Amino acid sequence: MKPIKSLGVAAVLFVQFATLWAAEPGSRPDQPTIREVKDVIYLAAGRAEKADLYLPPTFEPGKKYPGIVIIHGGGWTGGDKGAAREQNIGTTLASHGYVCMSINYALAKTGSPTFPQNIQDCKRAVRWLRKNAARLQLDAAHLGAIGGSAGGQLTALLAVSGPEAGLDPSEDAEYSCRIQAAVPMYPHCAASWEGQVPPKPYPKLPMFAKPQAEAPALWDLASPIKQLSKDDPPMLILHGTADKTTPLEQSTRFHEAAEQIGVQSELIVIEGAPHSFHLQPKQRDLRPDVLMFLDKHLKPHR
């Protein structure tokens, strides 16, 4: 059976969710594991970006489930909520009792900068989950985020940017944007090169209206390492030693800076792993690590 195409929040209320068949190694092919709802509307009218929901096999009466926002990568200019990595993450977490929301968000093109709209879309997703918590049997007090590459940067920034950063969207302000755990995967966490020799040519990212030399404050606002504070949620950072896109040093610096101010941070370095792996790279099965971390911080009462 193909996943049902959702028409928005109303579909979440009444639709009989379609069944996905087991995708994990060792599962029986005829055993349903999760449910998926495609193309849920979570942004304002007129926005083309939508979300996919990955849901546990069943909702037990009276039980609440922790939520996860999945943020895709793609250099802030491409990627999709339904890519292989995001499907791997969504099916893995939903099969272990998480309500997952894989989102598309504003993408930058040359001449069309999108920061801070991209991080605001991530925050809108968190608010959408809390706003629809009753319909999804969601534990609104225990939400997390996970993403790789550009999605890793946005995941980290979502975790560390509180209201004081000025990045929260204006709508649905009665719902918090804060999350309680984050898993940034091979993220670019430092927009500046303090104490380092900057790369050449000097980088110019499409999501910014200006290069860093002309708008350092804007770039710092998007830099998770610049936004760290001691009240930030626990983070599990994943990075491979063979990453030729985002240097391992980015995660190392972020992890060390978090620990220095007392933020719970764990860095798992995967020997030989390149950029853009999912939770089951050939070098190491990361599912036990990620599930243990998320269960510890998002299922504390279980």
Per-residue confidence of the chain (302 residues) as pLDDT tens digits? Answer: 334 344 344 444 334 333 333 333 333 343 448 999 999 999 999 999 999 999 999 999 999 999 999 999 999 999 999 999 999 999 999 999 999 999 999 999 867 899 999 999 999 999 999 999 999 999 999 999 999 999 999 999 999 999 999 999 999 999 999 999 999 999 998 766 555 555 565 566 889 988 888 888 999 999 999 999 999 999 999 999 999 999 999 999 999 999 999 999 999 999 999 999 999 999 999 999 999 999 999 997 65
170: tokens are 């204006």
> What is the C-alpha separation between 124 and 289, in angstroms, rounded?
28
Cβ atoms of 180 and 69 closer than 8 Å: no
Q: Sign of the CA dihedral 32, 279, 38, 294?
A: positive
| Residue 74: count of CB within 10 angstroms of its CB | 15
Residue of 187, 212, 40 whose CA lies nearest to 119: 187
Question: Does the predicted model carry a pTM greater than 0.85?
Answer: yes
**Could you tell me the domains of the chain?**
4-298 (3.40.50.1820)
> According to DSSP H, which parts of the chain are helical?
9-14, 84-94, 117-131, 133-136, 150-160, 216-221, 224-227, 248-260, 287-298
